[in-house]
């Protein structure tokens, strides 16, 4: 039994999304949304930024703990975002998609439907993020025109990703 997400919770979730500041904060929010909608959780993932062909948004290496986000697309999204909410919505939906794969759910349609259903329940039917979960090009049509076709050899590993189980002295 999953808990009820009220209309007030949805408003709250949208305003929280707006305020998130980095990869870690967005990912923590992804994890808590998946836990509240699907009661699923896991830890220990690593995040890499990787320059890739624009047809690839991100990938999860099967059987590994690695999620890689396409840094070429992410830069374009940053450039075309009209608000932090739009940028974070993109990051959220991409991380959500790969996080769901990391549970061993391989089927693309299943993951897409689960992502869309989560956004509807967690943020609301008509929110930008829910449209983005359906198709990011509806929000960023300009990006559909960009062609980049190679996999770069460089990776950037995001430090301290998915480390919420650890404690730090500040
Ligand atoms: Zn996928």
Tell me the per-residue pLDDT of 115-136, one tens digit each, with 9 for 90 and over: 999 999 999 999 999 999 999 9
Structural contact between residues 17 and 29, judged by C-beta atoms closer than 8 angstroms: yes
Is residue 164 included in any domain, yes or no? no
Measured in angstroms, how far is the CA atom of residue 112 from the centroid of ligand 1?
Answer: 8
Structural contact between residues 48 and 119, judged by C-beta atoms closer than 8 angstroms: no
Q: What is the pLDDT of residue 2?
A: 62
CATH number at residue 145: 3.30.2010.10
Domain enclosing residue 101, as ranges: 7-157
Is residue 170 included in any domain, yes or no? no
Cα torsion 90, 96, 99, 101 to 10°: value is: -100
Is residue 69 included in any domain, yes or no? yes
Is residue 168 included in any domain, yes or no? no
SS3 assignment, position 47: strand
Measured in angstroms, how far is the CA atom of residue 99 from the centroid of ligand 1?
Answer: 10
Measured in angstroms, how far is the CA atom of residue 54 from the centroid of ligand 1?
Answer: 14
Q: What is the pLDDT of residue 120?
A: 97
**Quick one: tokens of 83?**
């608000």
Measured in angstroms, how far is the CA atom of residue 59 from the centroid of ligand 1?
Answer: 7
Residue numbers of the chain with a pLDDT score lower than 70: 1-2, 164-170
Measured in angstroms, how far is the CA atom of residue 114 from the centroid of ligand 1?
Answer: 11
Question: Does the predicted TM-score (pTM) go above 0.85?
Answer: yes
Q: How far apart (Å, rounded) are the C-alpha atoms in residues 132 and 111?
A: 14
DSSP element (H, E) containing 156: strand 155-157
Is residue 21 included in any domain, yes or no? yes
Measured in angstroms, how far is the CA atom of residue 170 from the centroid of ligand 1?
Answer: 37
């Amino acid at each position: 039994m999953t808990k009820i997400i009220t209309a007030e919770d949805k408003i709250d979730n949208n305003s929280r999304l707006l305020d998130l500041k980095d990869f870690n904060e967005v990912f923590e929010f992804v994890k808590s949304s998946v836990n509240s909608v699907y009661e699923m959780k896991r830890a220990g993932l690593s995040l890499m930024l990787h320059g890739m062909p624009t047809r690839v948004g991100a990938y999860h290496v099967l059987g590994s703990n690695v999620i890689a986000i396409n840094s070429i697309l992410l830069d374009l999204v940053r450039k075309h975002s009209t608000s932090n909410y739009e940028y974070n919505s993109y990051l959220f939906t991409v991380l959500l998609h790969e996080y769901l794969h990391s549970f061993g759910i391989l089927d693309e349609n299943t993951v897409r439907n689960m992502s869309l259903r989560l956004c509807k329940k967690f943020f609301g039917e008509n929110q930008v993020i829910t449209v983005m979960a359906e198709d990011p090009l509806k929000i960023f049509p300009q990006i559909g025109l960009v062609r980049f076709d190679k996999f770069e050899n460089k990776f950037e590993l995001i430090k301290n990703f998915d480390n919420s189980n650890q404690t730090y002295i500040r």
